[in-house]
Amino acid sequence: MQLHLKVWRQIDADTPGQFQTYTVANAHPDMSFLELLDVLNEQLIHAGGDPVEVDYDCREGICGSCGVMINGKAHGGLPQTATCQLYLRHFNDGDEITIEPWRAKGFPVIKDLVVDRAAFDRIIMAGGYISVKTGLAPEANAIPVAKASADAAFDYATCIGCGACVAACPNASASLFTAAKVAHLAHLPQGHPERQRRVLAMGDQMTTEGFGDCSNHGECQAVCPKGISIDAIATMRREYVRAVTGL
């Protein structure tokens, strides 16, 4: 199959970028989207051009580093599908595909499709962890945890920090990412001693990084490759109210 790619090219965050159009004539329906970009880069290298910078690692939907906007949708728009898990069988021969990086103040462009997502790391460093000494791993049933709480904690812990929620949000909010980390630990006994400090510090850091606030559009939930619910944001808001009121 033949595909026409409209790719965003940008040297760095301070240099204006633009779209450039390329054609890949030997794409195959069983290729993943990242394999398509591999083929494009091989073409560019053989022609003496500059390959397109794109971030990736595991190619198994685990690391979250592969995220790009595809035809205006984060990760391409398929439910619970990361870019690396998107296959060309979902496109048609002759299609034009627009590929661009995440667009957010908190995610400055490094080059082409790669953005700096270190802001997420700084939000985690602000409080997304447990610092109390818990000793060795206890017997599984030594600390009773209600099944509903355990299931919710596990669901929120699946967040891979890809940034699709930010890219899809009209406000470029990182609320779903931050809330997933807050809610994950809030549902576990080990996370209770620091829960008030955690939600305040992570919320403040999210604002400091330049991310917008949540206005309940729900786009973040729609594009999350792990299907994390915006219920996490409701949990984070409850945690915040408890922290500032002392209730």
Task: Report the run of H or E that residue 33 belongs to, with start and end.
Answer: helix 33-46
DSSP SS3 for 122: helix
How many Cβ atoms from other residues are within 10 Å of residue 216's Cβ?
A: 10
| Intra-chain end-to-end CA distance of the chain, in Å | 61
**% pLDDT > 90, the chain:** 91
| Predicted confidence (pLDDT) at residue 138 exceeds the cutoff of 90 | no
Q: pLDDT (tens digit, 9 = 90+) per residue, 67-100?
A: 999 999 999 999 999 999 999 999 999 999 999 9
Please state the rounded mean pLDDT for residues 162-190: 96
> For residues 131 and 139, what is the distance between their CA atoms, to the nearest angstrom?
20
246 or 245, which is more confident? 245
> What domains lie within the chain, and their CATH numbers?
3-110 (3.10.20.30), 117-245 (1.10.1060.10)
Judged on CB neighbours under 10 Å (0-12, 13-18, 19+), 231 is middle
Q: Write out the two tokens for 187.
A: 């549902």
| Predicted confidence (pLDDT) at residue 139 exceeds the cutoff of 90 | no
pLDDT score for 199: 97
